[in-house]
Amino acid sequence: MVSPGRVAISIFGFDIMWYGLLIGLGFMTATLISYKRAPLHNVKPDFIIDLIIWMIPAAIVGARAYYVIFSWDNYAGNWAKIFDIRSGGLAIHGGLILCFLVGYFVCKHYKQSFIGTCDLAAAVIPLAQAIGRWGNFFNEEAHGGPTDLPWAQIIDGVGYHPTFLYESLWCLALSIFLLWFDTKHRKFDGQIICLYMILYSVERFFVEGLRTDSLMTGSLRQAQLISLALIAAGAVLYVFLKKRSENRVVTEEEKNEETEENEEIDKEI
């Protein structure tokens, strides 16, 4: 695979990058699907439009800030370079963190379920990632080490592991699975977001090990540390939410039984 270049099209001398187009396409696709599926989680469809207005800048700012913070040596003394996102340099973990923080307050403001909204979004976030990852291909970045595999990404005549492709395929499969599971087998609120946290992080941990441009914390890869933390947090949250759901069911059953008993007593009286 050989990238045709970063520029998708030029209009009146202004270059429109594949990177931005694909991220935009990912956002749009995820938004449309969420709008259609919102009632499944008792979320108002129109709220999705309000939410995405906040999510787009939050995702970009969070992703860029995270990347800049953990690669500060490349930006120190050159503030203008910090804002040049058209050339790449976005970290998905930073975007997700800020989106969930902002999303919490947006849900509270519009009186929508935060957990329900997270479940709704979690099924399509990996689809947006699957689309957006191809921006790395056109930018010839975020690749792995040298390889002679048939599907290698060729850069300057050298083949590299196309880690963007590995993640894109995993995220596509993950989104399909979560959409199916959410529709057919979801048992409690929060189940889908927990599954996303765990399953995406497992993939990211191993694929990150192939990359040659990882953000580092000392001698450790930052994304791998975050992935391990998310796997642990997702597993703990899954157990907690499952037990809370089961306790609520038991409580509701007890209330129903008590109501039926009171009705029977009233009839006898």
Beta bridge partners of 154: 159
Helix, strand, coil in percent for the chain, rounding step 5: 70, 10, 20
Q: What is the pLDDT of residue 95?
A: 93
pLDDT band at 201 (very low <50, low <70, confident <90, very high): very high
Structure tokens at 264: 């029977």
> Taking all residues of the chain, what is their mean pLDDT, rounded to a whole number?
90
Per-residue pLDDT of 120-174, as tens digits, reads 999 999 999 999 999 999 999 989 999 999 999 999 999 999 999 999 999 999 9
What is the distance between the alpha carbons of residues 124 and 257, in angstroms, rounded to a whole number?
40
Position with higher pLDDT, 250 vs 53: 53
Q: What is the pLDDT of residue 71?
A: 82
**Global pTM value:** 0.87
Per-residue pLDDT of 58-115, as tens digits, reads 999 999 999 888 888 788 878 788 888 766 778 889 999 999 999 999 999 999 999 9
Q: In the block, which residue shows the tokens 């009171």?
A: 262
Nearest 5°: CA angle at 93, between 91 and 95?
A: 75
